A and B are shown apart, each in its own frame.
Chain A
Amino acid sequence: MTTLPLLDIRDLTVEFSTRRGIVCAVERIDVSVGKGETLAIVGESGSGKSVTSYAVMRILDRAGCIAEGTITFSGIDLRAASESDMRNLRGREISMIFQNPRAALNPIRKVGHQIEDVLMQHAQAGSQDVTAKAIELLEQVRIARPRERYHAYPFELSGGMCQRIVIALALACRPQLLIADEPTTGLDVTTQKTVMELVVELTRQRGMSTILITHDLGLAATYCDRVTVMEKGHIVETATARAIFTAPEHAYTRRLMRATPRPGVSLRDLLPEDAIARPTAQVLPIAADKTPLLVVEKLVKEYPSQGASRSLANLFRRGPAPESETFRAVDGISFSIGRGESVGLVGESGCGKSTTSTMIMRLTDATSGLIQFDGADIGTIPAKSFARLAIRKRIQMVFQDATDSLNPRFTAARAIADPILRLGGIKGRNAVRARCEVLARQVGLPLDLLDRFPHQLSGGQKARVGIARAIALHPELMILDEPTAALDVSVQAVVLNLLQELKETLGMSYLFVSHDLNVVRLLCDRVLVMRAGRIVEQGPTNQVLHAPEADYTRELLAAIPHPTFEPESNHARSA
């Protein structure tokens, strides 16, 4: 390279002082970004990819410090720059977009004013034209009715819209470098696509350089020129996106590549090559009984659409509440799940998939419709009394957030034992403990971890605890509500395989709720696609994903980022 890179990081080491001493978050890394270049930094949680970007911006929190190395941005030594110089650079020369856009905006300040704050700070506008400029920026990030939205608060906007505001903030002063830290995590795939395309288009228009920080290799390879892969604070590989995707050199990159669910692979393919294949236990013959295990018919859930209708003011209102005040979260859906079958329920946030699963779990009451489990009408049993019935044992749930769904004061063993103590009918401390150990072995949780508390376990281990707890009572139907959404891809691969194995050995049926079509593809026999409370398409997974009938399904499939240079050789080599 003859020209100097815009950003040049050399030998960067970032340390955090913690109670247990100094922890090195990033160790001796080199990163450089040229003018107009798009670089992706890919890694799993704890790899130090975000810390690197905070170090560049010098917004590490109090405990963190740059211990070694240099960061040069267009000739300026950022490590030596004064705080006021840094303040001038931040937002004007280097900007950042963050994960969780709604939290990234001041909740009680109008979004227009937040954009104005940045414009005024960097003297990009005077008090006369600042409003006009802010509205112009809103237009540029394609916010419909920008004049009106200027006065909106973040809570009045959708997640995708908030991310556009954050992008508008970041691009307000036409910076040279944009750092996007997981900009689309938590957004729906279709929103992800529009947001990413917007970023790419705007940065290209302005000749900006971009660093995209992500855990998603597909996203990185689709939108970036070069990819840097990080693991545990080190850079393991840097190469062009094409090279990374077609010929990854480092073992970790290859492992990461393998673990990413994608078309044309099976569950087993996700596991590392050297993984010891666990002997598949006796596969239970699926019961000859052809009657479906679960039948749902014309299920409806309505919510009052206004918060006001809950208030006491209603007591003083004459006459019944107007009909229009309800919102149908689930709008007359019908489906069934056979014995030993796994059905995927796919849709974007707000489509009613979680409401559906909680109704089947009988955690909320349906407004109308039928829920029949093994011939028994469970839909009519009030949610309050259902928890005490014997039938409750036969339906279990695994929740999305493995951390939040465990009691922080229960050990793993106590968490697993919880359903056994309530409904299991096993008496005596030793018997319960023995059952817990059997379950732990089943889910591959080392027995010495049983006495640890959730905060002492990793994400994958917590997921295993959640699964062990769910299978403790030999359920026939398991509802899996995005069980791997919060996990790193390599952990997700292991957990998905575990779920598949358990399903085969225990003969369970799954209702697998997810927004990730690639994951559903791997695990489910049939798939239901939901949108706005209705099922728009259902059928065998292969058929729905390869020859979708509904436009919406096609749209969903098209939105999944996968690089255009679909590698043919990859398959041959890994085989």
Chain B
Amino acid sequence: MLRMILQRLMIAVPSLIGVVIVTFLLTRALPGDTAAYFAGPAATQEAIDQIRVKLGLDKPLIVQFGRYVQDLARGELGMSLTTGQPVATDIRTRLPASAELTLLGLIVSMVIAVPLGIFAATRPGSMVDHLCRVIATAGVSLPVFFTGLILVYVFYYLLGLAPAPLGRLDIFFSPPPQVTGFFLIDSLIAGDGDMFLASLKQLILPVLTLAIFSIAPIARMTRASMLAVLASDFIRTARASGLSPKTVIVTYAFRNAMLPVITTLGMVFSFLLGANVLVEKVFAWPGIGSYAVEALVASDFAPVQGFVLTMAVMYVVLNLLIDILYGVVDPRVRIEA
């Protein structure tokens, strides 16, 4: 098992090197002169040139790359021109916000989608099956900002059940001392029940928005793979051995059906993490997605670089986790590694 993890890590190394190169080149290819932007609209040509020299932008690309890699090795991602903060600090504070939101969204959608898919598969053509299809289609065809806005309109404006969609905490609270960066966990560590509830309230609507969107792929995948497994020979053997329906479905079918679902989960998670920009905008969520978009609009390349790099690393780590999980569930994978 350990050998497999090490091997997977080694396979990740070349892709990380590739990501470093690509992010560097990509941000250099962005339109707009960074030095001019940095100097401000009133700056003279001379001042711009000075800043260009100061930022090292006058050097050949290869030298710039060398400096970039050196900085990376020290954990420095450069300064953000828009926030005036080091990019590393920005990302450190904003990533947990996005991660908390996405993770919870994924958990909620799994809790709904997986049983839904299983029920749909065990009774194909039934009401549950049709319901599954309708929910999945509706969820995936409504854009997230739309569902987000509808939820805000209904639950905040009309019913007043939800708090104002203004970030991670009510303005009367100050964030808990940072341990994990997840407010739910940090507030529990600090022993502050009120804050836990407050941050949970803030989370409900954006989490629902993400969950509704990601139910579709998970439910459909679960249904399809359950159907395939239920039709297979070993399920027939299990039934012919008189095993109870519960054992057949849970121990025999479900575990086998989970394999493709795990793969889908990884894809959905990484997709959501980057793509929840719109949700973050709607709920004024100080996440990493909105941060990157703002930087991109402002031709601020350091945060964009940092964002892409972070996402790439997360993607690699996530894939590693999924592979390990896969190995835990499926013994055949363990041998091949």
Contacts and interface: CB of A to CB of B under 8 A. Distances in A.
Given A59-B240, A121-B244, A108 B256 contact: yes
Contacts of B242: 86-92, 118, 121-122
Contacts of A169: 237, 241
Contacts of B240: 57, 59, 90-91, 95-96, 98
The 5 A-B residue pairs with the shortest CB-CB distance, nearest first, are: A91-B242, A90-B242, A91-B241, A103-B233, A96-B240
Contacts, number: 97
A418 B238 CA distance: 44
Interface residues of A, number: 38
A108 B332 contact: yes
Contacts of A166: 237
B7 A98 contact: no
A317 B41 CA distance: 56
Given A104-B237, A153-B332, A87 B7 contact: no
B330 interface: yes
A105 B234 CA distance: 5
Interface stretch (B47-55, B58-66, B214-222, B247-255): B247-255
Contact of A107 (B238, B241, B244, B256): B256
Contacts of B10: 312-313, 316
B233 A117 contact: no
A117 B331 contact: no
B11 interface: yes
B337 to A, nearest CB: 7
A324 interface: no
A307 interface: yes
Contact of A106 (B11, B238, B336): B238
Interface of B: 7, 10-11, 14, 231-234, 236-244, 247, 251-252, 255-256, 329-332, 335-337
B236 A104 contact: yes
Contacts of A117: 238, 241, 243, 247, 251
A493 B192 CA distance: 82
A25 B7 CA distance: 53
Contacts of A307: 335-337
Contacts of B238: 106, 117
A193 B176 CA distance: 73
Contacts of A250: none
A321 to B, nearest CB: 15
Given A95-B241, A118-B243, A104 B337 contact: no
B7 A313 contact: yes
Given A107-B256, A108-B256, A98 B241 contact: no
Contact of B239 (A59, A311, A313): A59
Contacts of B233: 98, 100, 103-104
B244 A87 contact: yes
Contact of A98 (B237, B255, B331, B337): B237
Nearest to A53: B240
A222 B270 CA distance: 61
Contacts of A312: 7, 10-11, 14
Given A108-B255, A155-B332, A313-B10, A90 B241 contact: yes
A117 B243 CA distance: 7
Contacts of B11: 311-313
A441 interface: no
Given A90-B242, A155-B332, A106 B236 contact: no
A109 B337 CA distance: 19
Interface in A259-303: none
A1 interface: no
A389 to B, nearest CB: 36
A108 B329 contact: yes
Contacts of B329: 108
